[in-house]
């Protein structure tokens, strides 16, 4: 006679055993930890850079358990130079932008991407390139 209890055992035992095996992996290691949460923001949502070559400095805030970060800015138009300088004690610091006569006048939406402590965060900002004052 086949009982309901035997039916459950026949179905549940392989499922539970398979789940435990999948969670621990072949090497028997337990769970892997998730990377920490990090964030990035600028002190101003919009940065205006002139074609005259004057340097513009903007504070960048990076929240991370690590004291170091890799900062990348993508989507800048040609003729715009960018630099990043962290503070002495954490990855927050300053971004500098400098235009040139070769920079096309217009509005752009570059992206800042930060890699720190095994995690990645990004944010967009508005970059306005203006004509050099005469």
* pLDDT tens digits for range 43-62: 999 999 999 999 999 999 99
What pLDDT, on a 0 to 100 scale, did the predictor assign at position 96? Answer: 98
72-97 pLDDT tens trace = 999 999 999 999 999 988 999 999 99
CA distances from 48 to 53, 81, 98 (A): 12, 13, 10
Instruction: Find out whether 41 and 112 touch, Cβ atoms under 8 Å.
Output: no
DSSP state of 74: E
Give SS3 for 99.
coil
d(CA 57, CA 100) in angstroms, rounded, equals 16
d(CA 88, CA 101) in angstroms, rounded, equals 34
d(CA 94, CA 74) in angstroms, rounded, equals 16
Give SS3 for 102.
coil
Residue with tokens 């962290």: 86
Instruction: Find out whether 127 and 99 touch, Cβ atoms under 8 Å.
Output: no
Architecture of the 39-130 domain:
Sandwich (2.60)
d(CA 78, CA 94) in angstroms, rounded, equals 21
pTM tops 0.85, yes or no? no
């Amino acid at each position: 006679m086949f009982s309901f209890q035997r039916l459950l055992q026949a179905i549940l035992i392989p499922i539970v055993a398979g789940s435990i095996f999948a969670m621990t992996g072949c090497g028997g290691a337990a769970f892997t930890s998730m990377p920490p949460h990090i964030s990035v923001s600028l002190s101003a949502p919009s940065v205006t850079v002139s074609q005259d070559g004057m340097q513009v400095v903007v504070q960048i805030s990076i929240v991370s358990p690590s004291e170091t970060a890799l900062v990348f800015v993508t989507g800048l138009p040609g003729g715009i130079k960018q630099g990043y300088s962290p503070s002495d004690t954490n990855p927050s610091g300053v971004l500098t932008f400098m235009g040139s006569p070769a920079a096309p006048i217009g509005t752009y939406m570059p992206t800042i991407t930060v890699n720190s402590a095994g995690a990645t965060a990004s944010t967009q900002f508005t970059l306005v390139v203006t004509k050099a004052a005469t």
